[in-house]
Amino acid sequence: MSDNQLFERVAIIGTGLIGSSVALAIRLNGLAGHVACHDADPEVRARAEALDIADSMHADIADAVGDACLVVVAAPVGACGTIAAAMRDHLRLGAIVTDVGSVKRSVLEAMTPHMPDGVHLVPGHPVAGTEHSGPEAGFAELFQNRFSILTPPGDADTWAVSRIKSLWEGMGADVEIMDAEHHDRVLAITSHLPHLIAYTIVATAADLETELEVKSRDDDVVTTREVIKYSAGGFRDFTRIAASDPAMWRDVFLLNKEAVLEMLGRFNEDLTALQRAIRHNDGDALFDLFSRTRDIRRGVIEARQAGRFHYTENVKSDDEGS
């Protein structure tokens, strides 16, 4: 038994990027005696099994969670309620259930009704990821020096919260505790809106070369090939974000609707003001705003969230941890 062991048996539900990274990080750091995994998709499950990310892989969720002291639900947030219902009758007394979703209030609402007495729910969210999906994308170091936010309900068991805190710290993360609603507003601006905008601009660019465009403006169509070719000008960063898992992000936007629409409304006002400044040749307004945003970057760098990215040519993917 490892000196670091926190749990005898951990069950991880979902073996995508985050689930497989949690499995690998728990095993690397000796945080559990046994890591059992389940994935509802037989094809994904087979791939996770081939990659040997867990001590045992289960087709039946009941077999995975049966003897677990800790269950980590690592599925798109829209599936958390269904998963909680499926495992409710198999959870062990005293077990802790946590998740890794990017939206917290709706997860709490969806899972709480299915928690049996004596089982402790402590929702969590590691602010870490890459644009890659699936078990192949997982790696044990994903959470190192990243924040993991816990949003325990007001009546949460203190011991259970401290165990989950130790779990994330054991995987190298810094833990913060906040209210679920506040989490959802913070993430709406720091993560959800950036993703929504990145998805939109990449779609806008892709649509420049449609059959209709070619017919109506055949004098000067910007082709998809050109968009890709000259993407180093700034667009490239957006394509990375816009390559993130579609099912995960669909659920995020639907389940954090209120906060996302609020932040989107603010963004739209600001964008409209800039659009007007361009149309009216108001260079001072543009210069002032462009100068102001530099301070935020400085803050990001000072907070050590910026990192340094060394460029290497001719590779098939990039793996920065964001």
Residues 27-86 binding a second copy (CB under 8 A) are 78
Tell me the C-alpha to C-alpha distance, in Å, between residue 101 and each of 49, 58, 107, 126, 253.
23, 22, 8, 8, 12
- State both tokens at 115: 């928690």
Q: Which of 112, 200, 210, 216 binds a second copy (CB under 8 A)?
A: 200
Q: Is 311 exposed, middle or buried (0-12, 13-18, 19+ CB in 10 A)?
A: exposed
CB of 267 to a second copy, least distance (A): 5
Q: In the range 112-151, which residues lie near a second copy by CB under 8 A?
A: 127-129, 131, 145-147, 149
CB 289 within 8 A of CB 274: yes
Longest dimension (CA), the chain: 71
Locus of tokens 């209709």 = 212
Residue 120, helix vs strand vs coil: strand
CB of 101 to a second copy, least distance (A): 13
Q: Which of 182, 212, 214, 218 binds a second copy (CB under 8 A)?
A: 182
Q: In the range 216-235, which residues lie near a second copy by CB under 8 A?
A: 220, 222, 224-235
Nearest to a second copy of 6, 251 (CB atom) = 251
Q: Residue 285 belongs to what H/E stretch?
A: helix 283-302
Q: Check binding of 261 to a second copy (CB under 8 A).
A: yes
Q: Which stretch binds a second copy (CB under 8 A): 33-41, 90-98, 115-123, 265-273?
A: 265-273
Nearest to a second copy of 2, 190 (CB atom) = 190
Nearest to a second copy of 159, 290 (CB atom) = 290
Q: Which of 38, 90, 165, 185 binds a second copy (CB under 8 A)?
A: 185
Nearest to a second copy of 32, 127 (CB atom) = 127
Tell me the C-alpha to C-alpha distance, in Å, between residue 207 and each of 15, 234, 287.
33, 18, 31
Q: Check binding of 214 to a second copy (CB under 8 A).
A: no
